[in-house]
Homo-oligomer: A and B are copies of this chain.
């Protein structure tokens, strides 16, 4: 038996500050068309796809800050994506900066079905970086300034051939992100990222390790999609990856540019994990995990 979902990981190269949403959406529509021509069921775009990665700057002008957020989705500028989705019958996932009618700001991703209807929304929980200006850095990483912590936990939705969830960038380094979706029977996790190659004093990282472990430990596919290249002088990693429930990387981007990676993902490959060694109901012991929710920071050893 097999339940194939064909996915396109739509890696995107650098988006400079001068690039308009119209230009970006035009590149995205092109990638969507390529994905549809390969009979993809859905195409996955990176985190904060519509603009340059603006948290790298300390900005004080509210007008300037606001220019990076979306007040509605779809909007005039993003409508072409939704129109093309409906016309081609292809789903997609998209990351963007969300400004709510109540004035809340989130780093958000949505899941859109083949009829161009938004079926799922996620707001980034693990905001990296810092909230204050730290001029000694080569670039800022001010997600804690420009976004609130997501308030929706991690959801999982049907509607695109199987149960799918979303996480964003830094979430992928935290096993809690995968597990909350694993506990909702997720079979494919879509995740976009913007990751500087070097960001001292944080050490450099293996990008695929955490996605591979998260996939395997929850018996799920993981589709990790980068915005990459040299963006406003900051070099960002590519390496967009499609990872099987075995933990194996079965698709991978090789450039630092707009690049589509296609894979036929059999959701039934998740079953042997979910029903044997990772049968949660049989093997998990939540009473012994309580520190994970009762404690935020690390404490000293007991003895």
Contact = CB atoms under 8 A, between A and B. Distances in A.
B176 A276 contact: no
Nearest to A277: B202
Nearest to A295: B183
B303 A159 contact: yes
Given A175-B179, A273-B203, A276-B202, A295 B286 contact: yes
A174 B217 contact: yes
Interface string A143-186: 00000011001111111000100000010011110111011111
Interface stretch (A33-41, A69-77, A82-90, A208-216): A208-216
B203 A298 contact: no
A127 B184 CA distance: 22
Nearest to A120: B303
Contacts of A275: 201
A296 B272 contact: no
Interface string A111-130: 00000000110000111100
A268 to B, nearest CB: 12
22 contacts: A125-B288, A154-B288, A157-B302, A163-B301, A173-B217, A176-B292, A179-B291, A184-B291, A184-B298, A184-B299, A201-B272, A202-B272, A203-B246, A203-B276, A203-B277, A280-B297, A280-B298, A281-B298, A282-B297, A286-B292, A286-B294, A292-B292
Closest 6 CB pairs of A and B: A281-B297, A213-B213, A175-B175, A202-B276, A156-B301, A157-B303
Interface of A: 119-120, 125-128, 149-150, 153-159, 163, 170, 173-176, 178-180, 182-186, 201-203, 205-206, 209-210, 212-214, 216-217, 246-247, 272-303
